[in-house]
Structure 1
Amino acid sequence: MTPDAGIRPREYRGDQSKNDATIDSILRDGADRIAAGRGCERSEALFEARLLAQHVTGLDTTGLMLAGDRPLAAESRAALEGLCARRAAGEPVAYLVGERGFWRHRFRTAPGVLIPRPDTEVLVEWALERLPEGALRRVLDLGTGTGAIGLSIAAERPMAEVHAVDRSPTAIRLAASNRVFMTEQGSPVSMGLWQGDWLSAVAPGSIDLVVSNPPYIAADDPHLGRGDVRHEPVEALVAEEAGLADYRRIVEQARQALNPGGWLLFEHGHEQAEAVAALLAQAGFEAVETRLDLAGRPRVTAGRCPG
């Protein structure tokens, strides 16, 4: 929405009926509802309510604070209350507002595609370290989802040839939309997209860097019944062999697809670092190393294809 959408002028002096409640009072009520529904801290609930309010009103954080004592029009109030109720029931904020910030940009999100998360920025950061600025390199983002990983790399390394693959046609459409969205944000990027199964269609020795955040949760993991994960596509989350099946397959395929000296970088669960490192080492990858996420947990493991 455009800024100030649904906000009554400050001069308005109608009675403070339900339809004339101020933004601040609506936010307080919404935060209470979210906190009760999700069982989270009220400060977290209030933060989420404000994100929803920004989406409804088109105001940024400062604008929302300055307009706190102003009433919302009935239509906008109903929209905000509806979003708060859906968040209280567990729907992810990223799906409710239709986008999520990642790296230096915003990316459109939608049900059916995994939501980008801050910990994945560690994967992007490490990939950029392996891609010298101005160098011609071919990069492949496996299981691209929203396209956030591949597009972030493409924006930072415009000389690289970046491609992305996903099995989901929904994900491919969303990633293509985000490719346009990046241009609208002032960062035109080029990234090839195709629907497929990991590296099965990639020619041998044709890739310099592979990055992937594949499904890695075991089917019986209790986390699947908690938080935002309950609403995300199970096929983007769950893998067989205690969550390691896709790692095994990608490692086998990447060993052939990578150029000598090329790199394979994985995001994984914080308890899977040793297992993923072992898969890389067993396949002959060298310089295998693991890095920590923002919370200090093992999150990304990489290895170099032998030359």
Structure 2
Amino acid sequence: MTLRDWLAQAEAQLSDGPHSDRAKRDAETLLLHVIGKNKAWLMAHAEDDFAGCSAIRYAGLIERRRKGEPIQYITGECEFYGLPFHVTPDVLIPRPETEHLVEKIIELATPGAFNLEEMLEGPQNPGAPSFRRSLPDGWESTNPAPSIRILDVGTGSGAIAIALATKLPNAILTAIDISQSALAIARGNATRNNLAEQIRFLHGDLLAPVAGEHFEIIVSNPPYVPDTDRALISVEVRDHEPHIALFAGHDGLEIYRRLIPAAHAALIPGGYLVFEFGFSQMPDVESHLKNSGFQNIEFTHDLQGIPRVASARRP
């Protein structure tokens, strides 16, 4: 059989699966993954014979996809914010809508968002939170200029922290996850993108590993799917992605009830909390933020006009 024949056969098989609308694209993506070539090469060699171990491997990958396994887990690859990431079932697959979260933090971290002169401790501001405070043991910065400290809570694959590191080279980034397996993936992705030296990875639940530390920005993409919605989400997500990164109690707000007050305590005055939330959760999220003392609460909508990202300032 030729490469063209295999593609046609794979497309027909995937058309009977849960993602028939992506059958042709997925068949091609998996074939290119197996042969290690690009689309232009495939078009020029479509009539080449395809057999042996590579063909057997391709058939196996197609069957995995037909059963609903995310193509990112099958290939082990995912792109986020224009960067390559390795992903496994130990981490949530980074979503394009989460890029809105990254963009909001970059907006807040640009010059003018924070008044450095007011925040730096000195004769005019005794006791003010200082950007130049001593860093945690074993964590060094070679940049003498004031740097914004950003904490990524529940980092997963490291996508948010790594994307921020590429755009905010002077930021001091810390990333936390409760899963040791996820942290191993995140560290590997940081190394892959040449950013391992800019991000401190810590293991633990929410902000526990940084008790006593303070930050200018805290960011999180926590689990927020209600347990009652399990039957409503796609098989691709429900049966393959880590439940610890998806579900958060009966109403999906379990993590926010702990994260929001903990973040308020760990932010410097004038600091920001930024996080992603689920469909229809905006009123509850706003209420929790107000009850914890946050001000300047804003919501960012995704490209479909759905409220997706919350940002709030500690006064």
Task: Report the identity percentage.
Answer: 37
Q: Which residue in the other structure is 1:152 paired with? A: 163
Aligned pairs, number: 281
Superposition pairs of residues 216-231 of structure 1, within 5 angstroms: 216-221=224-229, 222-224=231-233, 226-231=235-240
The CA distance in 1 between the partners of 2:85 and 2:43, in whole Å, is 25
Q: Which residue in the other structure is 1:98 paired with? A: 76
Aligned partner (choices 108, 114, 118) of residue 86 of structure 2: 108
The CA distance in 2 between the partners of 1:66 and 1:276, in whole Å, is 53
The CA distance in 2 between the partners of 1:209 and 1:195, in whole Å, is 19
Q: Which residue in the other structure is 1:88 paired with? A: 66
The CA distance in 1 between the partners of 2:73 and 2:170, in whole Å, is 33
User: How much has 1:62 moved relative to structure 2?
Assistant: 2.4
The CA distance in 2 between the partners of 1:79 and 1:199, in whole Å, is 43
**Could you state the TM-score of these two structures normalised by the residue count of structure 1?**
0.87
Aligned partner (choices 192, 197, 200) of residue 208 of structure 2: 200
CA distance 1:239–1:188, change in 2 (3 Å): closer
The CA distance in 2 between the partners of 1:203 and 1:88, in whole Å, is 46
1:265 aligns with 2:274: yes
| Structure 2 runs not aligned, ≥5 long | 112-144
Moved more, 58-67 or 232-241: 58-67
Indicate if the aligned counterparts of 2:177 and 2:202 stay in contact, CA closer than 8 A: yes
Indicate if the aligned counterparts of 1:223 and 1:229 stay in contact, CA closer than 8 A: no
CA distance 1:267–1:33, change in 2 (3 Å): same
Deviations 1:180-233 (A, max 9, x none): 1112xxx67621101011112324461111111101011120234533332111
Moved more, 114-123 or 198-207: 198-207
Q: Which residue in the other structure is 1:140 paired with? A: 151
Superposition pairs of residues 239-254 of structure 1, within 5 angstroms: 239-254=248-263
Aligned partner (choices 282, 300, 307) of residue 298 of structure 1: 307
CA distance 1:303–1:97, change in 2 (3 Å): same
1:167 aligns with 2:178: yes
Q: Which residue in the other structure is 2:30 paired with? A: 52
**Could you state the TM-score of these two structures normalised by the residue count of structure 2?**
0.85
Q: Which amino acid aligns with 2:235?
A: R
Moved more, 198-207 or 100-109: 198-207
The CA distance in 2 between the partners of 1:62 and 1:118, in whole Å, is 26
The CA distance in 2 between the partners of 1:79 and 1:52, in whole Å, is 10
The CA distance in 1 between the partners of 2:234 and 2:149, in whole Å, is 38
The CA distance in 1 between the partners of 2:300 and 2:236, in whole Å, is 25
Indicate if the aligned counterparts of 2:202 and 2:209 stay in contact, CA closer than 8 A: no
User: How much has 1:176 moved relative to structure 2?
Assistant: 0.7
User: How much has 1:258 moved relative to structure 2?
Assistant: 0.4
Deviations 1:20-68 (A, max 9, x none): x222221121121112021522xx1111111111211111232232222
Q: Which amino acid aligns with 2:32?
A: Q
How much is the aligned-residue C-alpha RMSD, in angstroms? 1.7
The CA distance in 2 between the partners of 1:272 and 1:61, in whole Å, is 41
Q: Which amino acid aligns with 1:214?
A: P
